[in-house]
């Protein structure tokens, strides 16, 4: 049995694919890695919000799944759209890395609280940009597209004084020495799925392959948390350019989801939390989303989508 793994071609995406291949190998399953370029990889001169968010980093891989040219697609979970197309499913989640946002700088004395208007922080995320405006209004943000290596090069060349990135990617690409600050989860709550790797497949995937992947790759605790987060995102109809945040934790058999919406200019932030049985993870996400919509989130999202 050989499992064909589809992935984007960036160093981080390939790291993730090789990591999944290594987990399969431990169980005696051979694999082949196939690289596929996505729309999000090709267009680097526009912000994510201007390109359009649906399937930006996943559509081409999904086409290959449906055409049975690959067995699974390996994604950063935060890049996977809230609703999958017909015939597709997320079948496993690898154990989640730390989900925090971190500040990266070549200046070890850099701290967000010390920044003034002369400092520029690079980010490609509307969520991070809005949170910067809300929590650090004295900081200027600038668009930072491209893979991690490209962003680090621009940081070195002085385009930015610092970058805000996900800890997981920074750690996996061995840039941890440049982390100068780890932003707290209760303030810079991450994007849904941040830090986790998601495995997508056709619903017609061979049952033996499906069972092996579930057994060797899936982390049940991460899966429960991601079910809650993605259920919330699906109800809010969020995409990677909409500043929605959501992070779930699991204690014994209880899932706690903290989530919210922030306006593009950072002036409004709506934050709520909800706990319940892990078996009801998807219901928790949906219920919390409904509460957010009823508490003013519906209007906020309408205004955000008009602006985007």
| Structure token pair of residue 112 | 């967000």
Q: Are 1 and 87 in a shared domain?
A: yes
> Among 154, 182, 210, where does a domain finish?
182
Q: Are 76 and 200 in a shared domain?
A: yes
Residue 226: inside a domain: yes
Q: What is the pLDDT of residue 115?
A: 82
Percent of the chain with pLDDT over 70: 94
CATH number where 285 lies: 3.30.160.40
Total domains, the chain:
3
- Mean pLDDT in residue range 246-267: 97
Q: In the structure, what pLDDT confidence band is assigned to residue 224 with cuts at 50, 70 and 90?
A: very high
Distance of alpha carbon 126 from alpha carbon 241, whole angstroms: 6
Residue with tokens 């899932």: 255
CATH number where 137 lies: 3.40.190.10
Residue 109: inside a domain: yes
Q: What is the pLDDT of residue 41?
A: 56
In this model, does residue 271 exceed pLDDT 70? yes
Phi/psi for 93 (5° steps) reads -130, 125
Residue 184: CA atoms inside 13 Å, Cβ hemisphere, count?
Answer: 3
Q: Are 115 and 132 in a shared domain?
A: yes
Strand residue runs (E) in 94-192 = 101-104, 120-123, 140-143, 162-166, 179-182
Q: What is the pLDDT of residue 282?
A: 98
Residue 296: inside a domain: yes
40 closest CA partner among 72, 68, 75, 86? 75
Q: By the 8 A CB rule, do 243 and 133 touch?
A: no
* pLDDT digits 0-9 by tens, 140-173: 899 997 889 999 999 999 999 999 999 999 999 9
Q: Are 89 and 121 in a shared domain?
A: no
Distance of alpha carbon 56 from alpha carbon 52, whole angstroms: 7
* pLDDT digits 0-9 by tens, 60-79: 999 999 999 999 999 999 98
What is the value of pTM for the model shown?
Answer: 0.92
Q: Are 78 and 225 in a shared domain?
A: no
Residue with tokens 């996900």: 166
DSSP assignment of 247-304, as one string? EEEEETTEEEEEEEEE-TTSS-EEEEEEEEEGGGHHHHHHHHHHHHIIIIIHHHHHHH
Q: What is the pLDDT of residue 51?
A: 42
- Mean pLDDT in residue range 254-281: 97
Q: Are 69 and 211 in a shared domain?
A: yes
Distance of alpha carbon 289 from alpha carbon 261, whole angstroms: 10
Q: In the structure, what pLDDT confidence band is assigned to residue 209 with cuts at 50, 70 and 90?
A: very high
Q: What is the pLDDT of residue 40?
A: 56
Q: By the 8 A CB rule, do 27 and 215 touch?
A: yes
* pLDDT digits 0-9 by tens, 33-52: 999 987 655 544 444 444 45
Residue 191: inside a domain: no
Q: What is the pLDDT of residue 8?
A: 92
* pLDDT digits 0-9 by tens, 103-115: 999 998 888 888 8
Q: Are 53 and 133 in a shared domain?
A: no
> Among 124, 159, 182, where does a domain finish?
182
In this model, does residue 288 exceed pLDDT 70? yes
Distance of alpha carbon 199 from alpha carbon 6, whole angstroms: 10
- Structural domain including 15 reads 1-94+196-218
3-state helix, strand, coil in the chain (%, to 5): 40, 25, 35
Phi/psi for 58 (5° steps) reads -130, -25
Q: Are 161 and 147 in a shared domain?
A: yes
Q: Are 3 and 59 in a shared domain?
A: yes
Q: Are 143 and 209 in a shared domain?
A: no
Residue 190: inside a domain: no
In this model, does residue 26 exceed pLDDT 60? yes
Q: Are 44 and 82 in a shared domain?
A: yes
Q: What is the pLDDT of residue 17?
A: 98
Q: What is the pLDDT of residue 50?
A: 47
- Mean pLDDT in residue range 217-240: 94
Q: Are 77 and 108 in a shared domain?
A: no
Residue 189: inside a domain: no
In this model, does residue 177 exceed pLDDT 50? yes
- Kindly name the residue from 71, 79, 101, 161 that is annotated as catalytic: 79
Q: In the structure, what pLDDT confidence band is assigned to residue 15 with cuts at 50, 70 and 90?
A: very high
Residue 297: inside a domain: yes
Residue 187: inside a domain: no
> Is residue 295 annotated as a catalytic residue, yes or no?
no
């Amino acid at each position: 049995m050989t499992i064909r793994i589809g992935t984007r071609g960036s160093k981080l995406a390939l790291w993730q694919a090789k990591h999944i291949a290594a987990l399969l190998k431990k169980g005696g399953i051979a694999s082949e890695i196939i690289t596929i370029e996505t729309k999000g990889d090709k267009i680097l001169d526009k912000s994510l919000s201007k390109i359009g968010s649906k399937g930006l980093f996943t559509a081409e891989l999904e086409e290959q799944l449906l055409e049975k040219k690959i067995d699974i697609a390996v994604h950063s979970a935060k890049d996977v759209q809230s609703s999958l197309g017909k015939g597709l499913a997320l079948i496993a989640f690898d154990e989640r890395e730390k989900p925090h946002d971190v500040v990266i700088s070549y200046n070890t004395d850099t701290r967000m609280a010390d920044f003034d208007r002369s400092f520029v922080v690079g980010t490609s995320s509307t969520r991070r940009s809005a949170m910067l405006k809300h929590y650090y209004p004295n900081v200027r943000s600038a668009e930072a597209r491209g893979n991690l290596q490209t962003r680090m090069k621009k940081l070195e060349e002085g385009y930015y004084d610092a970058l805000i990135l996900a800890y997981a990617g920074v750690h996996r690409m061995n840039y941890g020495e440049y982390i100068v600050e780890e932003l707290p989860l209760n303030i810079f709550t991450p994007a849904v799925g941040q830090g986790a790797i998601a495995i997508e497949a056709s619903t017609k995937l061979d049952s033996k392959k499906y069972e092996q992947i579930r057994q060797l790759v899936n982390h049940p605790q991460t899966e429960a948390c991601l079910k809650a987060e993605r259920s919330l995102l699906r109800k809010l109809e969020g995409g990677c350019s909409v500043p929605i945040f959501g992070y779930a934790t699991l204690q014994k058999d209880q899932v706690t989801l903290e989530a919210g919406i922030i306006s593009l200019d950072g002036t409004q932030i709506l934050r709520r939390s909800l706990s319940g049985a892990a078996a009801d993870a998807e219901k928790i996400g949906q219920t919390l989303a409904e509460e957010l919509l009823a508490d003013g989130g519906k209007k906020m999202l309408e205004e955000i989508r008009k602006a985007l």
